[in-house]
Chain A
Amino acid sequence: MNRGTSGTGARAGLLATLVAVLCACAPAAQRTGPVEYLDRDTAVTFTVVAHPLIFARVRPDLAARVRDYATAAAASMDRNGQVQYVLIIYLWSTVDPRNEPGAGGPAPDLVLAADDRRIALHPMADPAQSLPPFGRPPVRHFVGAMYRTDLATLRFITAARYLALLRGAGRREARFGLWRDERQSLAELVGPSQ
């Protein structure tokens, strides 16, 4: 994970938050429906939701209006007709990484808490496949990875009543609550249950 050099203090955090809100809103004005992207290096066709889910974790221990964010965009990967589903998850923060001991490192295991289910997410190990250029955070330093899932799980997520994203475990568990609910976009990707 890259270490940040962004400005310090609450003012920078507020500015980043405003930028994040604007970036989250702007695509909503421009894109409707899933977006297709062909990776010409690997010949994989991605179909990505128009708007990702955004989870946020407030960090009052550091400063007011400072949050960690996680964006989760569902996508289908079509490789020679073989389709699999993934969640493209970016983890980023308005916190100066210099104030976050232990920040950085590879993409972590995550848990998606949906109603009474705990869905384990593990980053896919595919160094040849880069992430499609959608939904990248508006900051320079972030962690991004694809997490394998399936169609049934994505449909469950569209219907679940409570959603949260968990990182770590036990006393080190960090809980990201649903900050922006874009499950309508997810429903457009996965379609109705048969």
Chain B
Amino acid sequence: MRLSDACRRVATLAIVSWGGFMGGPVHAQVPAQVPTRLIDVVEVDDHDTQVDITVSFNCSMRYLTHFPATHGRRLTVALQPLADCGAGPLSRILSEVPPLSGATRIVSAVHLDSNAPGQVTLTVELGADEQFVLAQGVDLSGLRIRLLRPQRARARMVVGGPTDEVSYFAVNLDSELTPFAPAAVASVRSQLGVPVFVSETTVDGRKWYRLRAGPFERRQDAQQVLDRAVASFPRAWLAIGDDSRAAGAVTLSAGAALPPVQRIGTDPPLDPATLKQLLSQASAALRARDYAAAIRLLTRLQRQPEFPGRAQAQELLGLARERAGQLAQAQAEYEEYLRRYPDGEAAERVAVRLRVLRAAMLPGGGGVGALEAQHAWQIAGGVAQMFRYDSSRTTSSAQAGVPAGTAAVVPTQAENEDALYTDVDLLARRHGDTTDWITRLSAGYIHGFGSSAFGSGGLGNSARVSLASVEWVDRAHGILAQAGRQVRNDDGILGTFDGLFAAYQWRPSWAIDVAAGYPVELTTSAPQTRHRFESLALALTPPGAHWDGSLFATVQTLDGVRDRRAVGAQGRYLASRASLVALADYDTSFHSLNAAMLLGTLQLPARWSLSFDAERRNSPVLTTENALIGQPVTSLLQLQQTFTLAQIYQLARDRTPATDAFNLTITRPLGERFELAATAAADRTAATVASGGVEALPATGLELSYQAELYGSSLWSAGDFNVMTLTYANTQIGKIESVGVSTRLPLFGPWRIGPGISLDRSQIVGDASTDTTVDPSVLIDYQRGRGRGLVELQLSGEIGRQSSSLLSQRTQRYYVSLAYRLGFPP
């Protein structure tokens, strides 16, 4: 490659990317059949009950094993790319930094590498030590990693309490023995963008002044503010509802000019049933954010003589006034509550709300805006680019002594493929009193530069939209609805689709999920409506139990023809020392078991851990569309011109072999810095029969592989990470032996360097040749904060030689990748 070419590509790195993405021609082309990137998107979905990390692949990937088994801060998942990834048992896959969506602070970085031939390793660096469980769905193009948060509710959805029950969290930024200056308070308020107030407390006879942010109704909202504030306020800590207890009685306004409140007993008394109904209607209006109606109803109740629910009505009236922005009236109602019910059930929280209200009403306090800041839109996301240059050169020659013309010597081949990937992700969230809105976008553009020796064009240009959805959650009624382009890998749903998903939790333990839409086969294509599906699932999550499960049914059509009709079940069992995930999917129209999977981990004595995966799958998932495999047409409508429907269904069966796979991994720490993991895997794929003009494929036979990995941390310096991998596989192609070493060493500050080298040796059955390859590489990266900034440079090469009795072939390959990601807010 000429130097001028390299300079041109570097100089146009940003310009071309933005021009191509924002204003250049966007071709909704179908790219080369083999995907250029293995991962389409990694989506982080943070709900109240759990965090789901969904990895969407651009082709089929078989899960092999993962490490560590149940918890850690760095998760590595070994995967085997299948045939539609364009990879074989001997392939070394190019590294990539995949697009990340909704990372927040939960996922710091994600990386895909190849540590052994025919395998990739997905590394997920988490922001904190997490407990997790993994599972693949029916379709092998997805992987779900669920982070377990035991302290959260175990229900699948949080059904929020009524709005008149509030609990308070606050962030204590600093405490002083002298009052805080108002200007300092205002400065902190503008810095953090949340309400800030000063409370007082007396400890050991000394009065302390506490500068606090909040209050917050949800702990995680307070924790987010604490995470942001701790750098500027090193003594910041999370306070839980301690203001009223610490500060004593709230001073009521003495003759302050507050609006008058309705006088008790001015209306004739109503019967208890009517009172109860009015209170219920007022609560419903408050939940529905119809504050005018709520105020009207509650004011009427306020004029009633004393009755059992009057204190609650008084509190709700203050809350309704506050939500409606009538701060002075709200203050008056809260003071009326404390005057009339000083020992009431809500006295403490009313006192806290009164303090916050007064702080907000001070000059510079922010007023309604400060209180509503908690309900404002929170926007986060990132921009990432990855430039890749991949050049390979293959030369062949006949072995010495071989007569001319005996060996088919292939002319020298040179291939360059370079491309610029630009990705954008956006997550906008608004947390309301009872409803949440979440919008997600993950999109990108690939600009191909390179050319092949066999023609021009290389990768081509294409735009992708992996996620584009709006989600609405009504916590009070237990409803969730998501519309747009989204990804799901459970309840029989096969990955990315354009459509609607809705969930309704009508009991703490029971929920119904429904989904309908159009499956998306390529995120680079425009939405299509030929393919449709509907699914229904019933989920059970017993409170306090260690298991949950669901039953599902799904129907799918293609070009008006029945494509898939399946029922299934999935379940999880989680205990302190064991976990089990099970899935079964049965197609009732084809009478075929699409998938049966059992994945488990077990903590054994003496620090041993065991994980296993046993599965039987139709590979690919059995659908009528499989009948198109090997056919010269691209739609079922065209195929129906040659075959009857019954014949098409049989063709689909014939093109779908079953695969059995079994993996067993044991791990054990060795001393303080090492950990050993050993994996044995076996899999076999059945044969297919010849039919419809498509030839039969033989069975693979039993393919065995063994792998041992030794992990070492802090060997050379604090914080380094080292891996040695030994692999042996006996596949239908031949025997493969590989040894590799890689390391990540801290350089200075957030910079790290990662040299690595691997040696592969393969004995290929087909031509009795021996293939020896050396793959050196070096990775330099810079990570700032958690997911806020990343720069990565990777240089790697592949030097190989393949020798048979007739032919000798040399391969030289060089690969350069430069990537960055900027996250916001900073």
Contact = CB atoms under 8 A, between A and B. Distances in A.
A193 interface: yes
Contact of B672 (A38, A117, A155): A38
Interface of A is mostly: mixed
B72 A116 contact: no
Nearest to B209: A116
B453 to A, nearest CB: 50
Interface stretch (B231-239, B565-573, B654-662): B231-239
B227 interface: yes
Contact of B237 (A36, A83, A113, A152): A152
B175 A155 contact: no
Contact of B607 (A36, A43, A155): A43
A43 B71 CA distance: 17
Interface stretch (B26-34, B200-208, B361-369, B588-596): B200-208
A82 B234 contact: no
Interface string A79-110: 01111000000000000000000000000000
Contacts of B785: 194
Which of B208, B234, B235, B669 has the most chain A CB atoms inside 10 A of its CB? B235
B129 interface: yes
Nearest to B208: A116
Given A38-B672, A116-B175, A194-B227, A80 B603 contact: yes
Contact of A113 (B204, B230, B235, B238): B204
B81 interface: no
Nearest to A157: B235
A18 interface: no
Given A81-B72, A116-B208, A117-B237, A193 B231 contact: yes
Nearest to A47: B672
Interface in B699-713: none
Interface string A42-54: 0101000000000
A134 interface: no
A80 to B, nearest CB: 6
A80 B607 contact: yes
Interface in B45-95: 68, 71-72
A176 B204 CA distance: 14
Interface residues of B, number: 24
A156 B235 contact: yes
A152 B239 CA distance: 12
B210 interface: yes
Given A152-B237, A193-B231, A115 B669 contact: no
Interface string B211-255: 000000000000000010011001101100000000000000000
Contacts of A117: 175, 237
A83 B607 CA distance: 15
Nearest to A117: B237
A45 B175 CA distance: 36
Nearest to B235: A159
Interface string A37-81: 010000101000000000000000000000000000000000011
17 contacts: A36-B672, A38-B671, A38-B672, A43-B607, A80-B669, A81-B71, A81-B129, A81-B669, A82-B71, A82-B129, A83-B129, A113-B204, A116-B208, A152-B238, A155-B230, A155-B234, A194-B786
List the 10 closest pairs (A to B, CB-CB), nearest first. A116-B208, A193-B230, A159-B234, A116-B175, A159-B235, A116-B203, A115-B175, A43-B607, A193-B234, A45-B672
Given A113-B203, A116-B210, A194-B231, 13 more contacts: A36-B672, A80-B669, A81-B68, A83-B129, A115-B208, A116-B201, A116-B203, A155-B230, A156-B237, A159-B234, A159-B235, A193-B231, A193-B234
